[in-house]
Amino acid sequence: MTALRDATRGDHARTERSPFVTALLGGVLDRAAYADLLAQWHAVYSALESAGDAFAADPVAGPFVDQDLRRVPALAADLAYLAGPSWPAEHPLTAATGRYVARIAASREPLAFLAHHYTRYLGDLSGGQVIGRAVRSAYALDGGGATFFTFAAIPDAKAYKDAYRARLDALPPGALTAEVSVAYGHNAAVFAALAERHLAP
């Protein structure tokens, strides 16, 4: 697990430092920009959770597929709160999101799927919690709109992440690294596309 983190540390850092993320956490953007991000994630997590259903019985990937991680219901609720029932029309997918979704859907091998699973869900349980607190504060979302960041069924995130990483450590070393880098690249591309939409040139 340490080797995987070390090998993809640069990819992770570049994604976190994207102008869109910086502006979002600083409260520079409006709620519509935040909702736009959630709309992109709704498509990504729909693809990821559909793939997870397909891998649920797989001996390698199956142990990672956990109903307690599912984000699509929370994303749908947040989007309805922020933008109402018309949110799909108001927040169309970027081309970068489409490519990300296609990559997940094309992940036919368990380790390729796990690379995307790890990148998103472990990120949500780690730095995503910091982002969630910042977003709630910046956009006054104490009454709804940020449930995506809440894992009510996982009260001890550290213990969960430790167990997840232990399962990853049992897999062939280095097997996930290349696809994790690809996943970070797709995340960065989504942020770049949103920056083009919402940040002044």
pLDDT at residue number 59: 96
* Entry pTM: 0.95
Per-residue pLDDT for the chain (201 aa), expressed as one digit of tens each?
Answer: 566 776 567 666 677 789 999 999 999 999 999 999 999 999 999 999 999 999 999 999 999 999 999 999 999 999 999 999 999 999 999 999 999 999 999 999 999 999 999 999 999 999 999 999 999 999 999 889 999 999 999 999 999 999 999 999 889 867 788 999 999 999 999 999 999 999 977
Distances (CA, A) of 39 to 8, 71, 74, 160: 26, 12, 12, 27
3-state helix, strand, coil in the chain (%, to 5): 75, 0, 25
Question: 58 and 85 in contact (C-beta within 8 Å)?
Answer: no
**What's the pLDDT score for residue 7?**
58
pLDDT at 6: 62
State residue 97's pLDDT score: 98
Residue 62 three-state SS: helix
User: What's the rounded Cα separation, in Å, for the pair 129 and 48?
Assistant: 20
If DSSP codes are grouped into helix, strand and coil, which group holds residue 188?
A: helix
Of 72, 13, 86, 68, give the one whose Cα is nearest residue 42: 72
Query: Cα dihedral angle (167, 173, 177, 178), rounded to 10 degrees?
Result: -130
Residue with tokens 């970027």: 94
pLDDT at 143: 85
Residues 6+ apart with CB under 8 A from 81: 144, 145
Architecture of domain 2-198: Up-down Bundle (1.20)
Rg over alpha carbons for the chain, rounded to the nearest Å, is 16
Domain coordinates of the chain in residue numbers?
2-198
Sign for the CA dihedral angle at 126, 20, 99, 44 comes to: positive
Distance CA 199, CA 201 (A): 6
Q: How far apart are CA 111 and CA 48, in angstroms?
A: 13
